[in-house]
Structure 1
Amino acid sequence: MRRITRIATVGVMSAALALSVTACGETSSSSSSDTSSDSKGGKTAIAYDIGGRGDQSFNDAAYAGLVRAQKELDAKGTEAEPSDGESDADKVQRLTALARAGNNPVIGVGFAYAPAIKKVAPKFPKITFGIIDDASVTGDNIANIVFNEEQGSYLAGVAAAKVTKTKTVGFIGGVETPLIKKFEAGFVQGVADTDPKVKVVPQYLTQPPNFDGFSKPDLGKAAAQGQLDKGADVVYSAAGLAGSGAIEAVSKAGKWNIGVDSDQYKQEGLSAYKESILTSVTKDVEDSVFNLIKSVKDGKPESGEVRYGLDKDGVGLAMSNPAFTKMTEVIAAVDKAKKEIIDGTITVKSTP
């Protein structure tokens, strides 16, 4: 039986009402006590980032971790979707409702949840709060799940520099934030170290506080077209749902895409363009979500910084496209770079 409840929360009242319904038709009370959680993690909740589930990227990777926990740990999951133009106060209300409903852990997908978790976590000390892609907010009951995105992006830069025929490659960042700049930094360095003659054309879709660059495919499509017009024949998009628009444009132009977060070659929503997706810079968000849920269920909840890098296969390059795996020279260069990053011969920058 499917045991994931999907809700869209707007304000305290609607959140509480939505959370009172489970997939099996049962109800759960919304106690304000911090002891309302199941200490063994029988119930867990994910609050999605901008773009929500179905982005074929970051949020979907988190969802995969929840599904795995449902199958392997018999966890009952609740999903909470973001609303357009929401504030930090909306996120506080959402997380509070999820905690009061007895979910443990409660996981915020994305750095945008940092202010809300900072406010909510101290009020529920017996509940573990996970936040993905942020280490700024700390606490005894907070697990900071972070990744070395720059390392995986470096490998993408190596591949792009090896594959390009025009000596021009593109980088599309969704929103110009320190996190996305890590992707750019690694990619640019990987390209430069592999072939200094290759030019990288970077572009960001929006600037904070406008986060449409993570959610609007048309922005990604327009940016990709601009990069194609400048001669780019490989485009790496780190833009969440907006990246799907870039993938479409690059695919229709017969050029190479590099995806992000999930193995986008395998994403059903991108199947029409999969042959153009050379590889993807993967972040093991799926395992990180599963591991946090399991730690709570086992009575040893993760807390503090939980880092995933190349050394733990927490980031890397997807090898699903047969066209990519047949490029023996490219794969050899990628493998060499991976080894040198892990052994410390190469230090990858986290800022451009």
Structure 2
Amino acid sequence: MKKVLVLLLSFAMVAVMAGCGAPEEEQPEEQIDYDIAMVTDAGMIMDGGYSEVAWTAISKFGSEKGVSHKYYKASEASETAYKEVIDNAVDKGAKVIVADGYSFEDVVYNAQKEYKDVKFILIDAEPVDQESGKAKTGDNTAVVIFASEQAGYLAGYSAVKDGKTQLGFMGSTKNPTIMDYGYGFLQGAEAASQEDGVSVNVKYHYCTDDDDRNSILDMTSEWYQSGTEAVFACGRQVEQPVIEAAELNDKKIIAAETDKSQMSDTVMTSAVKDISGVLEELLKQYKSDEFPGGSAEYYNAENNGIWLDMENSRFSSFSKSQYDSIFDKIKDGSIVVKKYNSGDISSLGLSNVSVSEI
């Protein structure tokens, strides 16, 4: 039965790729200029995650407001390819460019200076010069930062409160956003373990260039077979293989960034960011000549920028009232969640949670 579930999941993904994984089919008809451009890395667009939500928000706004829009996907994961898609978008008339995440921090750092008449929106990253490490947000750039650490905290807290004491964290890469997810996850698990008087073990891994789909699947399967009950998977590189491992071993996964409940019955919950709502608001400000360039806007529990999906969750015992209680404590500042830059994992002061970094 487990093999059947995995095969069905694989067929479903093939169907998605066939139907919209030539995602260019979703593009507007060809024309001369496109006012709004979304530039992405070399991964899939319609992947159920960040990219799909961002593009759907752009398409909805463009269609409703009569604003032309198009996305440009990099041919490969490289700075050169990222620069090429931005150049291409500008050549096609882009007046505002939405950059698809952390991969574009260095490219946007330079592009905002080169194309001063173009507006840039960079989500979950700041424009940073790769050589010097200097961060600079130009007057034509709006930076959006979500509190990944708070979303991770909710994921870890809920998992332990649901009775799971053998956990895993799988990050697609070691960047600030992924690290914040992981640090928050550990702190949430620690808080819940102290309340319940239990010990928690967490297997913890950031992927490198040596990790491919098969190695992630194999590693996560080994975790599950050795007793891990749920894995927090952060990043689209890791989500699908972790889901397949969970299917094979009848275990659970916690997803990140968007509601992934439709991807598999193994998805226990998702740590969600309001990417769609925030992007729509920024595009409205752009259209009204009120673009908030030169600033970084932070979205967290206080302004409902992050949350844990409860509507489609598959918890055994963690309740909505428990969720509301912990969310309110983060929202009012009673609980402050440390970010990745607080130090290494030992700086989190974990006592009930043991971490095995792999």
TM range (shorter): 0.7 to 0.9
Q: Deviations over 1:311-347 (max 9, x none)?
A: 12211111232643x84x4433322211111111111
Q: Please name the residue that 2:301 is paired with.
A: 310
Q: Please name the residue that 1:203 is paired with.
A: 205
Change over 3 Å in CA distance of 1:310–1:139 after alignment to 2: same
Work out whether 1:331 is the aligned partner of 2:343.
no
Question: What CA distance in whole angstroms lies between the structure 2 residues aligned with 1:87 and 1:159?
Answer: 37
Q: Deviations over 1:41-83 (max 9, x none)?
A: x720001135231332221221222122134323321111122
Contact 2:267 2:314 (8 Å CA) reproduced: no
Q: CA RMSD in A?
A: 2.3
| Residue 111 of structure 1, CA deviation | 1.4
Question: What CA distance in whole angstroms lies between the structure 1 residues aligned with 2:307 and 2:299?
Answer: 10
**AA of the residue aligned to 2:273:** K
Q: Please name the residue that 1:171 is paired with.
A: 169
Question: What CA distance in whole angstroms lies between the structure 2 residues aligned with 1:52 and 1:306?
Answer: 27
**AA of the residue aligned to 2:290:** K
SS in 2 for 1:310: coil
Question: What CA distance in whole angstroms lies between the structure 2 residues aligned with 1:311 and 1:73?
Answer: 30
Question: Which of 98, 113, 121 pairs up with 1:122?
Answer: 113
Contact 1:203 1:223 (8 Å CA) reproduced: no
Contact 1:55 1:241 (8 Å CA) reproduced: no
Work out whether 1:26 is the aligned partner of 2:25.
no
Contact 1:148 1:315 (8 Å CA) reproduced: yes
Change over 3 Å in CA distance of 1:104–1:217 after alignment to 2: farther
Contact 1:107 1:129 (8 Å CA) reproduced: yes
Question: What CA distance in whole angstroms lies between the structure 2 residues aligned with 1:138 and 1:79?
Answer: 23
Q: Please name the residue that 2:122 is paired with.
A: 131
After TM superposition, the structure 1 = structure 2 runs for residues 278-289 of structure 1, keeping only pairs within 5 Å, are 278-289=268-279
Question: What CA distance in whole angstroms lies between the structure 2 residues aligned with 1:83 and 1:220?
Answer: 24
**More displaced 10-residue stretch of structure 1: 136-145 or 57-66:** 57-66
Question: What CA distance in whole angstroms lies between the structure 2 residues aligned with 1:295 and 1:65?
Answer: 14
Displaced runs of 4 or more, over 4 A: none
Contact 2:101 2:122 (8 Å CA) reproduced: yes
Question: Which of 310, 332, 335 pairs up with 1:343?
Answer: 332
Question: What CA distance in whole angstroms lies between the structure 1 residues aligned with 2:297 and 2:152?
Answer: 20
Question: What CA distance in whole angstroms lies between the structure 2 residues aligned with 1:60 and 1:151?
Answer: 23
Question: What CA distance in whole angstroms lies between the structure 1 residues aligned with 2:311 and 2:219?
Answer: 26
SS in 1 for 2:45: coil
Contact 1:129 1:143 (8 Å CA) reproduced: yes
**AA of the residue aligned to 1:198:** V
Structure 1: 5+ residue stretches without partners: 8-21, 29-41
Work out whether 1:150 is the aligned partner of 2:155.
no
Contact 1:50 1:82 (8 Å CA) reproduced: yes
SS in 2 for 1:175: coil
SS in 2 for 1:172: strand
Question: What CA distance in whole angstroms lies between the structure 2 residues aligned with 1:338 and 1:322?
Answer: 16
Identity of aligned residues (%): 23
Question: Which of 288, 295, 298 pairs up with 1:298?
Answer: 288
Change over 3 Å in CA distance of 1:110–1:186 after alignment to 2: same
**More displaced 10-residue stretch of structure 1: 149-158 or 288-297:** 288-297
Q: Please name the residue that 1:70 is paired with.
A: 62
Q: Please name the residue that 1:319 is paired with.
A: 310
Question: What CA distance in whole angstroms lies between the structure 2 residues aligned with 1:23 and 1:59?
Answer: 17
Question: What CA distance in whole angstroms lies between the structure 1 residues aligned with 2:174 and 2:115?
Answer: 33
Q: Please name the residue that 2:252 is paired with.
A: 256
Contact 2:310 2:320 (8 Å CA) reproduced: no
Per the normalisation by structure 1, the TM-score is: 0.80
**AA of the residue aligned to 1:297:** K
Contact 1:153 1:281 (8 Å CA) reproduced: yes
Change over 3 Å in CA distance of 1:279–1:98 after alignment to 2: same
SS in 2 for 1:260: strand
**AA of the residue aligned to 1:115:** D
Work out whether 1:244 is the aligned partner of 2:236.
no
Question: What CA distance in whole angstroms lies between the structure 2 residues aligned with 1:320 and 1:241?
Answer: 25
Structure 2: 5+ residue stretches without partners: 1-21, 127-134, 346-358
| Residue 117 of structure 1, CA deviation | 1.1
Question: What CA distance in whole angstroms lies between the structure 2 residues aligned with 1:59 and 1:184?
Answer: 21
Matched residue pairs, number? Answer: 306
Change over 3 Å in CA distance of 1:170–1:177 after alignment to 2: same
Contact 1:92 1:119 (8 Å CA) reproduced: no
| Residue 284 of structure 1, CA deviation | 1.4
Contact 1:56 1:241 (8 Å CA) reproduced: no
SS in 2 for 1:227: helix
Q: Please name the residue that 2:50 is paired with.
A: 58
| Residue 126 of structure 1, CA deviation | 2.1
Change over 3 Å in CA distance of 1:332–1:49 after alignment to 2: farther
